[in-house]
A and B are shown apart, each in its own frame.
Chain A
Amino acid sequence: MNKDTKISHLHLRGLIVSSVIGVGILSVPNTLADTMGSDGWISIIIAGMLMIPLLLMYNQIFKLYPGMDIFEIGKATLGSFFFTIVMIIGFSYLIVSLAVVIRTLGELIKIFLLQTTPLEFIVITFIIASSYIATYEIDVIARAGYFVYPIIIAFAFIIVLIAIPGANFENILPVFRFSFKDLLKGTGNIFFSFAGMELIFFAIPYVEDKQNIVKSGVLGIMTITIIYTVIFIMSLAHFSLNQLEHQVYPVLMLIRQLDLPGFFLENLDGLIMALWVIVVFSTVAPLYFGAGKVLSKLFKTKSHKYFIWALIPVIYFIAMLPENFIQLLYDLRHVHDILAVISIVLLPLLILIVGSIRKKVER
């Protein structure tokens, strides 16, 4: 572990918020409207609360083995062989995640901003632009995350302000009309919009102020939950439930709706798209860094710089794999979701359990 890199716990919080809030935010209302109807916000809050024990679990892993980063801990607990398999799974998850995020971004840019530009071009330029920062260490990436963090909050704030004039809060009614099965399904769906938190694996060991990790992390999770909830409620207030089920990107449609000629606020969708590109970048940067780092540990090289560059065509290839939106949304997403559950929950749990047992045995 590189002793020189240091992260403040504020940066950690910024990293959490900016990694999680990426492409998911645009389709949160959509996915929930199907299952939970107007009570979707309940699912969001529950999913957010479920993140907290996950955070505690991550923190516990590092508490058991202070002074070691995730790769060293993994090797110490699971042994080289098994951990290599774990790393390969983790790597696939990161790459697929990257591909899904970047492809979704590309599709949106193509729809709203650059209709005739080939998607390939949009995707490859984004990958190259993100690769610059990915070649550096986690403290730089945490800084970038912290930079974007207030932008995300401003983004959510603007959306709320815009939505209030036309909001019809009646649409939130009726409340509490769902079954337990719906709740499970809804919460499960929403869980994947919280993916991204596992990126703090790379960051926790370098945080100086150990006491504040949990506090900052929980604050970050709460921020994410609040933002998602607010956006869901605003989308619901603007569109009826019916519409919400049919609109593909309700949040963006919300922005487009705004028309206050008196205040000169029209056609704000451009501004939101621009801000949103930065938000997605803050999700992509740590993912990309992670992918490069895992590769560099697998092949035991000193610097992950070369892997970052080598990954450019790989990410491009996988991002361009789905031929149409059906394949993207339903097939690739499916693969991503499975890998996500494994990488975010199961594998860390495994490491924690094995690690605790070992520690107990050592005593």
Chain B
Amino acid sequence: MKKLLIILIILSTLMMTGCWDMIEIEDRIFPYSIGVDINHNQDKEGKFLFTISYPNIAAIGKNATSEDPIFIIDDTANSIFELMHKLTSRLQRPIYLKLLNVVLLSEEVAKDSKSMREIVDSLNRDFIISKNVQMLLVKDNAKELLSTKLESKRQQAIEGSLNSMLNNKQKSSMFIPINFMNFIEATDISDVAIVPLAMPGEEEIIISGGAILKDYSLIGYLEPMEVRVLATMNDEINQDTIDATYNGADLSVMITGVKSKKKLINEGENLKIKFDIELEGHIHSFILEPNMAIKTGEMLDALQNAVAQEVKVDMDELVKKAQKEYGVDMFKLRNYISKYHPKLWEEIQDNWEVLYPDIEIEVDVKVFLRRRGLSI
């Protein structure tokens, strides 16, 4: 009996200790996205202007009691966590960052390497924020982008429209989404990361193209076309649509499989790396003309070559841009050499920055069109 009493006393003291972490789920705010701008307002303290969008819980579910699906709130602060602190004076409930989906960085912020590094570190060190947050770069102003009104309310209420757009299954390869972990990894491996670019439209948000961030600092942009080409060379996408012309007619091809292999040729004085790209797909649209019917092997070969040629031209251009204009290892060559040819890497690693722009990169594209659809 006495033992029971002691146990009961211990238990009751336990219960009186107060449940420190207990916050009911409906009492929390779950922001989806956070936008980072540079603060230009002299009157307010803080280096950055942060904008947060979070869903209105009362508007979800069967008995929706409120109309606005999303709330937007902004404030200035020196770091994300100071922001949380500041917002407690304006919001009724504590913020819980676990469901954060997207981090938007404005151009200005991205150009400033120090600011970027601070933001990246805070995202990395925090234990609550998921490391799968998507990174987005915004032309002009993140706050403006987030305030854009959007059409479909239900969807955005649950997932946040930016996040849904980025996760859109029908990958168009106009942009390649990158999450925070990959962002850091890419910068670690090859000093450069490509972040999708977003800009506000009339009543919508447009995400296309990419921003080149070298060593956490913005140095240039990529057109959507270039992003697609880059992703193909890096073996990052599997689906694509390519347009080419043949005999004056427009040939649309749907690519369903991409294989990209790198090979090191010539270790001597001049490094040469060859890309073997194989695209596999089928013909989507051509032209309905009798002498353009696809009936022979030669015709098919010609079509394939046309597409391959188109792709190769784009790729060569991108290579030139990457090497000469930006001097940035977008093709993960460093990774390749250090992993597959470690001895060579040990020799050249100190001179990599100098050697890179002069590496001869040859691109060889083969296209295989397996099917032609239902008509000839």
Nearest residue in B to A253 (C-beta to C-beta)?
B131
List the one stretch of A62-70, A108-116, A196-204 in contact with chain B: A108-116
CA of A112 to CA of B21 in the docked complex: distance in angstroms? 12
Bound complex: CA of A173 vs CA of B339, how far in Å? 5
14 contacts between A and B (CB under 8 A): A111-B127, A112-B127, A114-B21, A116-B20, A117-B20, A170-B339, A173-B340, A173-B342, A242-B188, A243-B184, A253-B131, A256-B131, A259-B130, A259-B132
Q: Digitize A232-244: 1 where CB-to-B-CB distance is under 8 Å, 0 elsewhere.
A: 0000000110110
A334 to B184, CA, bound (A): 32
* In the assembled complex, A84 has its CB within 8 A of some CB on chain B: no
B17 — which chain A residues lie within 8 A by C-beta?
121
Which B residues are closer than 8 A to A by beta carbons? Answer: 14, 17, 20-21, 98, 127-128, 130-132, 167, 181, 184-185, 188-189, 335, 338-340, 342
Q: Are A174 and B338 in contact (CB under 8 A)?
A: yes
Nearest chain B CB to A245 CB, angstrom units: 10
Measured between alpha carbons, how far is A106 from B18 in the docked complex, in Å?
A: 18
Q: Which residues of A contact B (CB under 8 A)?
A: 111-112, 114-118, 121, 125, 170-171, 173-174, 177, 239-240, 242-243, 253, 256-257, 259, 261, 267
In chain A, what residue has the closest Cβ to B17?
A121
The total number of A-B Cβ pairs within 8 Å is: 47
CB contact between A239 and one of B132, B185, B340 (< 8 Å): that residue: B185
- Inter-chain contact A243/B340, CB cutoff 8 Å: no
Q: Is the CB of A240 within 8 A of B98?
A: no
A165 to chain B, nearest CB (A): 13
- Contact in complex: B132, A257 (CB < 8 Å): yes
Q: Which of B14, B20, B188, B335 contacts A114 (CB 8 A)?
A: B20
Q: Which residues of A contact B181 (CB under 8 A)?
A: 239, 257
Given A117-B21, A242-B189, A257-B181: A174 in contact with B132 (beta carbons within 8 A): no
Task: Return B28 CB to nearest CB of chain A, in Å.
Answer: 13
Q: In the complex, A10→B205 CA distance in Å?
A: 62
- Which residues of the other chain, B, contact A257 by a CB distance below 8 angstroms? 131-132, 181
Known: A114-B20, A170-B335, A257-B132. 13 other contacts (CB 8 A): A116-B20, A171-B339, A173-B342, A174-B338, A174-B339, A174-B340, A177-B342, A240-B188, A253-B131, A257-B131, A259-B130, A261-B167, A267-B130
Listed residue (B127, B339, B342) with the most chain A CB atoms within 10 angstroms of its CB:
B127
Min CB distance, A117 to chain B, in Å? Answer: 4
Q: Are A118 and B98 in contact (CB under 8 A)?
A: no
Q: Check if A243 sits within 8 Å of B131, measured CB to CB.
A: no
Residue of B nearest to A259 (CB): B132
On whether A243 and B188 interact (CB within 8 A), knowing A112-B127, A170-B339, A173-B340, the answer reads: yes
Are B189 and A240 within 8 A (Cβ)? Answer: yes
* In the complex, chain B residues whose CB is within 8 Å of the CB of A114: 20-21
Chain B residue at minimum C-beta to C-beta distance from A116: B20
- Tell me how far the C-beta of B124 lies from the nearest C-beta in chain A, rounded to whole angstroms: 8
Output the least CB separation between B207 and chain A (Å).
Answer: 19
